[in-house]
Amino acid sequence: MTSQKQGAFYTGRYRNVFKEHGYSEDDINDRVQKTWKDIFYGDQKTTFYYPVGENKAYILDTGNLDVRTEGMSYGMMMAVQLNKKEEFDRLWTWAREHMYVTFGENAGYFSWSCAPDGTRNYDGPAPDGEEYFALALFFASHRWGDGEHEPYVYSHEAKELLRTCLHKGEDSIGQPMWEKENKLIKFVPNCSFTDPSYHLPHFYELFSLWSYPEDRSFWQEAAHASRRYLQKACHPVTGLAPEYAFYDGSPNHVNGFGHFYSDSYRVAANIGLDYEWFKKDEWQVTEANRIQAFFADKDPLDYRRYTIEGDPFEKKSLHPVGLIATNAMASLAATGPIAKAHVDLFWQTPVRQGERRYYDNCLYLFAMLALSGNYRIWMPQKS
């Protein structure tokens, strides 16, 4: 653990990794804005943002043709980081109207998948959506102020959602999204395993400041628990994490999800951003170096699915652009000699076009924000 408080949360300074590696500020700013425009307002080859009526919009998973809490919450986080209040409110309005569950064992959560017309495909939630919704709402409250009426009293919505995530089932039916004993996030509420890419200790640090007072100690403990957990789940040589894993960190091979594949890509990005914001775990530097070293001699046109030990499968990566983006985002923590090469590769890679563009370009815009110093913590406004 680091002894000094050096992360951006404490200093207010965010690295512009692109600039550190020789790119001009004008080119960087232009690229960030172009990426936003391409995926929110570009042509049908690049966009996945679709306005509906006067005040709603959804983000389409273009590979599965549905609307997911993952994408909706990601879009809200992108919008608040870039000061796009109209797009934020449109997405939140759609999600709150169509995805929010008001009855049954999942009341208070969001249906993880809906059709573009708002019809729910499932009533159950996926916890990564809830945690992104909550932090995006806090940031919106801090950046723009709360609205006067539901659902735009952003901070209240975030606190209520986090309360549900922790206390669901205590006085009604249903299950919480975090294990009370080990403080780890579940894959879904009614299971006993997790997804390493769901672990966002940098989010939990902020939840421990802004959630209801009675829950703040839990979130502080959850941040510590998730940092410890990732050290167990990531391979000690390759740095690769499985998509699904048990609470002891071992891969969960049920239905073939115990290998390094699409969900796993986000671990590198999460570790990089946690290190940038808080710098509480020097293991993250070692981990980022391991992941980048593993991919240093791999052809991006031939990225594969891998065991966490690094053995390739015949099946190619479904989202190679997303993998390029997350490996580059690991440079927020990496100190190895190839950190720049991963950043350069990302810079030279355009946004993805076509059927599978949604997931890749979500990860792409997050990396573009983070590496340009624009993925920031929005603190409460001083009165």
Residue 70 bears catalytic tag:
yes
β-sheet bridge partners, residue 61: 66
CA distances to 259, 291, 306 from 311, rounded to whole Å, are 10, 14, 5
**Planar angle of CA 62, 140, 369, nearest 5 degrees:** 55
Question: Which of 159, 157, 174 has its CA nearest to residue 106?
Answer: 174
Q: Which of 341, 198, 216, 211 is nearest to 257 (CA)?
A: 198
Taking alpha carbons only, the member of 75, 146, 66 closest to residue 98 is 66
Q: CB of 258 within 8 A of CB of 245? A: yes
263, 274, 276, 281: the active-site residue: 263
Range list of β-strands (E), the chain:
49-52, 56-59, 67-68, 113-114, 304-306, 312-316
Tokens found for residue 243: 């998509």
312 bridge partner residues:
306
**Residue tagged active-site, from 38, 61, 66, 70:** 70
242, 196 Cβ separation under 8 angstroms? yes
Tell which residue, 206, 239, 249, 356, has the closest CA to residue 307: 239
**DSSP letters of 285-351?**
HHHHHHHHHHHTTS-GGG-EEE-TT-PEEEEEPS-HHHHHHHHHHGGGT--STTHHHHHHHHHHSPP
CA angle, 198 then 58 then 374, to 5°: 55
The residues annotated as belonging to the active site are: 70, 263
